[in-house]
Amino acid sequence: MRIPRIYYPEELKPNSLINLPLSASNHLKVLKKNKGDKVEVFNGKGTISLGCLEDLKRNRISLRLEDNIIQEKPLIPEINLGVSNIKNFDKVVKDSSQLGVSALASLITERTKLRDTKKDKFKRWQLISASSCEQSGLNWLPKISQNNLKDWIGESKSKNRFFLDPKADIYIGDIKRFSTLDIAIGPEGGFSTKEEDLFKKYNFTGVNCGNLVIKTESMPIVVLSMLKVLSEAN
């Protein structure tokens, strides 16, 4: 049987006793885990450890970590994804986290209908991201933020910069091998002409994903799957 994975956003120290958050405790109770059972813990920053359930109370479960603490290297390739803010951004967070993005930004564009995100949404997005990483086996949580498109473009540091453009001559499959990449996905109506000009000013290249018309909420999983195949093929 697969060992359950739990996100614990604190430093993991050898042989230390930690109290799991309520959400994790409830999850383990649903799985009917008992004292002495093994659990894998990760802190979202590449640190992983196995632990043994030690004290199971009604509203709290404590776990004793083993001596062996593993520190993974950061995700390669490093993908910085910007997606126009939409109503169902929860799906964007879930899909993107499962496919291993390093950073995910909710972008405010000219055609964005939702232009502000409350703090409680960021907390929910963090929980969704953690749950996705628990399921997928990834040990790095993406940095999630909200930015105006102009600011996101200006802060780009990668040499490989792209934005989705159905009119582009370059197909996403033509992207060469990369270790870092910044890519932006626009709203249903696409980026405006002014925004496309801004992308080009900052050396972003337009790429297309073929003839399919796909909703913004589903586009990240399409793009990231393609990029994953490309990075492994090269």
If you average pLDDT over residues 153-162, what whole number do you get?
Answer: 95
67 and 88 together in one domain: no
Structural tokens at position 69: 């603490």
pLDDT tens digit sequence for 98-138: 999 999 999 999 988 766 666 778 889 999 999 999 999 99
CA distance 132 to 94: 6
29 and 47 together in one domain: yes
Nearest residue to 52 via CA among 66, 32, 68, 42: 66
What's the domain range around 170?
78-233
User: pTM (2 decimals)?
Assistant: 0.90
Q: Quote the pLDDT of residue 177.
A: 82
N- to C-terminal Cα separation, the chain: 35
CA distance 122 to 117: 8
pLDDT tens digit sequence for 159-206: 999 999 999 999 998 988 889 999 999 998 899 999 999 999 999 999
Higher pLDDT, 158 or 57: 158
Mean pLDDT, all residues of the chain:
90
Confidence of residue 32 (pLDDT cuts 50, 70, 90): confident
114 and 227 together in one domain: yes
Confidence of residue 43 (pLDDT cuts 50, 70, 90): very high
Q: Quote the pLDDT of residue 21.
A: 78
Q: Quote the pLDDT of residue 103.
A: 97
CA distance 208 to 167: 7
Sign of CA dihedral 204, 208, 213, 219: negative
Q: Quote the pLDDT of residue 117.
A: 64
Question: Which residues have CB under 8 Å from 116's CB, separation 6+?
Answer: none
Give residue 127's region: left, alpha or beta (phi > 0; psi -120 to 50): alpha
Question: Domain count of the chain?
Answer: 2
Sheet holding 180-185, edge to edge: 143-148, 103-108, 78-84, 180-185, 161-164, 205-207
Residue 231 has pLDDT above 90, yes or no: no
Confidence of residue 234 (pLDDT cuts 50, 70, 90): low
Here the CATH number for the domain that contains residue 10 is: 2.40.240.20
25 and 98 together in one domain: no
Q: Quote the pLDDT of residue 154.
A: 96
For residue 74, give Cα distances in angstroms to 68, 100, 101, 102, 139: 19, 10, 11, 9, 9
94 and 183 together in one domain: yes
Nearest residue to 89 via CA among 46, 51, 118, 53: 118
